[in-house]
Homo-oligomer: A and B are copies of this chain.
Amino acid sequence: MGLIVQKYGGSSVADATCLFRVANRIKSYYDKGDSLVVVVSAQGDTTDDLLEKAAEINKNPSKREMDVLLSSGEQISMSLLAMALEKLGCPVISLTGWQAGISTSARHSNARIGSIQTDRILRELDQKRIVIVAGFQGIDRYDDITTLGRGGSDTSAVALAAALHADKCQIYTDVKGVYTADPRIVPDAAKLEDISYDEMLELSSLGANVLHNRSVEVGKKFNVKMEVLSSFVDEPGTEVKEVSKVEKMIVRGVARDNEVARISLKDVGDVPGKAFTVFSILAQKNINVDIILQSLGRDGKRDISFTVSESALDAALQVLEENRDVIGAAEVLHDSDVSKVSIVGAGMVSNPGVAANMFEALYNANINIKMISTSEIKVSVLVARNEGDAAVRAIHEKFNLSNI
């Protein structure tokens, strides 16, 4: 018996069948005596449908009104889930973001949770009610509805778990947990029993697509015991916690991210402050830069290459073009036909030669490396996009990840 926060994504509450599957799972915990706070996303296609409605009216609406519109999606799914639980005879109440006391910053469409007033939720739990909370939303200090941006419901769940000092935060999704690689690329990828916050952070930002980064950051900050598991089957998932107990594994997983593009500035003046100039110009436009590679100077010139997300490529090229004089590059090249492949594992720090093994795997598979970036717990390489999957498979096999 304990306090459990569960989160169900859009595909888990897509229709009546899914809702009852979820409701029965919630009931099984409730019947065991657990206190439950359940965070839901909007049903399957609801968000897309609402976006389409908006696009018919105004291609560029204010973010405030978009938040009002989109937040109705969770209001629908939470009340339907409550009705399913009522049908099963469970005492239940659904709460919107503001009713659940979720206060956020005023940055519409991408707000951050500031604090959670848990009074109402605790009062409902005291009355032995299952509490359903709308994910993805809150209110700002003006009492305006905000949304948390992509993956926001995960963050809602983990933040609630932290505020309520929950025993566990279960993130239910349509995959069974965190794998050593995307099973669609590597069919014999193995499900990890557990993973540390830091490793998970690297994996999710590297395109593993299981948990949103911000939720893991919040989980790490407040030491929330998280678990990623499937709402469609009844088996343990992957625990995300401070320290993984499987210390023997050096590499925990291989991730691939195709949503990436490379930009190269040729023959930039080899003078101090040049890199600062380039990246502060990009930062002003909120363009995140990932791997950065700077060539050695030659004849007073050097090249600077870096990656951005593919969706930010056009904006990046535009701002670089606008500031061409300041940057002073002979040429701005770009290549979106690339894939970023990364290995992640806390064990790497104390195991020299991991990167070398990765490069060897790629060499044996005849895959050319375009860029390299390393940190304490990851090594990323940029390869041609059509070689990305082969790179993942080669690395996965090299580290024998199917047999963990």
Contact of A307 with B by CB under 8 A: no
Contact with B along A61-95 (1 / 0, CB 8 A): 11011101101100110111011101100000110
Contact of A330 with B by CB under 8 A: no
What is the distance, in angstroms, from A59's C-beta to the closest C-beta of chain B?
Answer: 9
What is the distance, in angstroms, from A374's C-beta to the closest C-beta of chain B?
Answer: 46
Contact B94 A57 (CB under 8 A): no
What is the distance, in angstroms, from A349's C-beta to the closest C-beta of chain B?
Answer: 49
What is the distance, in angstroms, from A35's C-beta to the closest C-beta of chain B?
Answer: 20
* Residue in chain B with minimal CB distance to A144: B99
Contact of A143 with B by CB under 8 A: yes
Contact of A82 (CB < 8 Å), options: B56, B68, B120: B68
Contact A80 B99 (CB under 8 A): no
Measured between alpha carbons, how far is A108 from B56 in the docked complex, in Å? 34
Contact of A398 with B by CB under 8 A: no
Contact B56 A16 (CB under 8 A): yes
Contact of A229 with B by CB under 8 A: no
Contact of A371 with B by CB under 8 A: no
Residues of B contacting A71 with CB < 8 Å? 75
Contact of A370 with B by CB under 8 A: no
Residues of chain A in range 221-266 having any CB-CB distance to chain B below 8 Å:
none
Residues of B contacting A338 with CB < 8 Å? none
Which label, helix, strand, loop or mixed, suits the secondary structure of the A interface?
Answer: helix
- Given A57-B16, A57-B87, check contact A69 B65 (CB 8 Å): no
Contact A80 B53 (CB under 8 A): yes
Residues of chain A in range 11-65 having any CB-CB distance to chain B below 8 Å:
16, 19-20, 50, 53-54, 56-58, 61-62, 64-65
Measured between alpha carbons, how far is A147 from B94 in the docked complex, in Å? 16
Contact A62 B86 (CB under 8 A): yes
What is the distance, in angstroms, from A332's C-beta to the closest C-beta of chain B?
Answer: 34
Measured between alpha carbons, how far is A45 from B145 in the docked complex, in Å? 25
Contact B75 A61 (CB under 8 A): no
* Residue in chain B with minimal CB distance to A64: B93
Contact of A120 (CB < 8 Å), options: B16, B19, B84, B143: B143
Contact B53 A76 (CB under 8 A): yes
Contact of A86 (CB < 8 Å), options: B56, B58, B82, B83: B58
Contact A65 B50 (CB under 8 A): no
- Given A64-B93, A143-B99, A143-B120, check contact A69 B58 (CB 8 Å): no
Contact with B along A121-146 (1 / 0, CB 8 A): 00000000000000000000001110
Measured between alpha carbons, how far is A76 from B53 in the docked complex, in Å? 9
Residues of B contacting A72 with CB < 8 Å? 72, 75-76, 79
- Given A62-B86, A120-B143, check contact A54 B69 (CB 8 Å): no
A–B complex contacts, Cβ < 8 Å, 6 sampled: A54-B79, A54-B83, A61-B82, A65-B82, A68-B82, A68-B96
Interface pairs A-B: 7 shortest CB-CB = A69-B79, A61-B83, A68-B79, A72-B72, A58-B83, A58-B87, A72-B75
